[in-house]
Amino acid sequence: MKRLVLLAPLALFVAIGLAFAVGLTRDPSRIPSTLIDRPLPEFDLPPIQGFDKGLASADLKGEVALINVFGSWCVSCLLEHPVLLALSKENAVPIYGVNWKDEPGAGAAWLARHGNPYQRIGDDSAGRVVIDLGVTGAPETFVIDREGRVRYKQVGPITREVWEKKLRPMIEELRG
Amino acid sequence: MLCRNREKSHPEERRRRVAKDGPLAAVLALFLLMSPAFAVEPDEMLADPALEARAEALEKELRCVVCQSESLAESNAPLAKDMRRILREQIKAGASDEKAVAFLVDRYGDYVLLRPRFEGKTLLLWTFPLLAVVLGGLGAAFYLRAQRGGTAPAPLDEAEEARLKKILNERA
C-alpha cells in the first residue's frame, strides 16, 4: 500500500507529461474555424480598382467553389499563387478572391504582375468581411459547397500536396 | 579593523556608493511603475467615455488572434485594430458586453477569450490547480504519518555499549 502511495506522484507526472507531449504536437496558432458546416456569412464587396465585378456571398450558390483571402503585401500568398493559376487554367474549381487590406490599385497591380486566377474579386480594404469569416492571416482559403455552406478552411498556402491530398478529394466528394 | 569601519562610513565613500548604485536603484524603481502599453489609438476611441471604458475593459479580456499571447488591448496588429473597431461599433450600436463579446466568439471561437469560460469542457482546466494542491496535501499527510509511525532503533545492550565506547575512544 505504501509502495502504491509513493508511486502515485510519479504516475501522475508521467500522465501529465504524456498529455503535454500530445498537446505539443498541436499548433495552437491554428484556430479551428467556427464556420465549418455553417452557411457562408452574407457579404457584398465592391470590385477592386481596375476591375468591374465585385464579390458577394450570393454569387457562389449552386457550385462548389473556393474563396481565397489574399493581399499584395502577403508573401505566403505568392507561394500558392502558381498553384491557384494552374487550377484556374485547368478549370478545376472556380476561385473567388477577397483582396484584404490593400491600398486602391495595389491588388490589381499585384495580379497584373503575377497573374489572375480569380473569377471575381471583392475589395475588403476595411477588413470587415474577413473578420466575419474568422480569418486570422493570409492566405486562407474556404471550401464552399453547393448549398453555400463552408465545409473547410485551409490556413496557409495551398501547395500542390495540399491540393492533391486534401482539397481535390474533398471537392470531388462535394460535387457528388 | 577600526580603520576598515571608518573607511566604510566615511562621507566620501558613502557619496561614491550612492553615485554608483543610485541610478540603478532609480531604474529598478521605475520598473515597478511599468504597466503594459495599450495599443488603442485616439482615432479609435469612442466619443462617449462610458462606452469607451466598457470597450477598454472588454479588450483586456479578449485575445489577439494574430499575436496570440497579447490581449486585444495590447496588440499592434492591424487585425487587432479592426477587431477593436468592430467591438466598439457593437457597443456603440447598443450591444451589451456579452453580446459584443459573443460577436467575436461566434467568428473566432472560445480561443478569443483570454479567460476560459467555466463550463463542462473547461472544468478540469479550472479545478486542476485546486485538485493538485489537495492531492499533494493528502500525499504529504500520508508520507508524514508513515514517518512518525516508524520505530526507533532498539536500545543497545551492555556488551554493545562497551564496544561503542571503545570505538569512540579509539577515534578520539
The grid coordinates of residue B36 equal: 503594459
pLDDT band at B22; cut points 50, 70, 90: confident
Contact status, residue A165 vs residue A154, Cβ threshold 8 Å: no
Q: What is the pLDDT of residue B9?
A: 59
Of A2, A28, A131, the CB nearest to B82: A131
Burial class of A150 by CB neighbour count within 10 A (0 to 12, 13 to 18, 19+): buried
- ipTM summary value: 0.81
- CA–CA separation, A160 and A135 (whole Å): 22
pLDDT band at A6; cut points 50, 70, 90: confident
Nearest to A100 by CA among A76, A78, A131: A131
Of B106, B107, B109, the CB nearest to A32: B109
Looking at residue A165, what DSSP letter applies?
A: I
Judging contacts by C-beta atoms under 8 Å, the chain B residues touching residue A126 are 82
Contact status, residue B107 vs residue A34, Cβ threshold 8 Å: yes
Contact status, residue A142 vs residue A35, Cβ threshold 8 Å: yes
Q: What is the pLDDT of residue A28?
A: 65
How far lies B59's CA from each of A24, A53, B48, B91, in Å? 28, 37, 16, 12
- Residue written as cell 492531492? B135
Burial class of A162 by CB neighbour count within 10 A (0 to 12, 13 to 18, 19+): middle
Q: Do A136 and B108 touch (CB under 8 A)?
A: yes
How far lies B21's CA from each of A83, A141, B117, in Å? 62, 58, 47
Q: What is the mean pLDDT of residues B132-142?
A: 85
Closest CA–CA distance from residue A137 to any residue of chain B (Å): 7
**Number of helices and strands in chain B (H, E):** 7, 0
Q: Do B142 and A32 touch (CB under 8 A)?
A: no
Which is it for the CA torsion B116, B119, B123, B126, positive or negative?
Answer: positive
Q: What is the pLDDT of residue B149?
A: 67
Q: Is-cis flag, bond preceding A139, omega within 30? A: yes
Of B78, B109, B142, the CB nearest to A101: B78
Q: Which amino acid is at B102?
A: A
Q: Do B79 and A136 touch (CB under 8 A)?
A: yes
- CA–CA separation, A81 and A100 (whole Å): 15
* B31-55 pLDDT, tens digit each: 877 766 677 777 778 888 888 899 9
Find how far residue B158's CA is from the centre of its chain: 61
Which alpha helices (DSSP H) does A25-159 contain, by range? Answer: 75-90, 106-114, 128-132
Q: Do A34 and B109 touch (CB under 8 A)?
A: yes
Q: What is the pLDDT of residue B23?
A: 86
Share of chain B above pLDDT 90, in %: 20
- CA–CA separation, B65 and A134 (whole Å): 10
The grid coordinates of residue A21 equal: 507531449
B→A interface, C-beta within 8 Å: 65-66, 68, 78-79, 82-83, 86, 106-109, 111, 135, 139, 142-143, 146
Three-state DSSP at B134 gives: helix
Q: Do A5 and B108 touch (CB under 8 A)?
A: no
The grid coordinates of residue B129 equal: 490547480
Burial class of A107 by CB neighbour count within 10 A (0 to 12, 13 to 18, 19+): buried
Phi, psi (degrees; rounded to nearest 5) at A49 = -60, 125
* B74-106 pLDDT, tens digit each: 888 999 999 999 999 999 998 899 999 999 999
- CA–CA separation, B83 and A145 (whole Å): 28
Q: Is the pTM of this model over 0.80?
A: no
Residue in chain B lying closest to A102 (CA) = B78
Rounded mean pLDDT of chain A?
A: 91
Q: How many CB atoms lie within 10 A of CB B24?
A: 9
The grid coordinates of residue A156 equal: 496557409
Judging contacts by C-beta atoms under 8 Å, the chain B residues touching residue A35 are 107
Phi, psi (degrees; rounded to nearest 5) at B154 = -65, 145
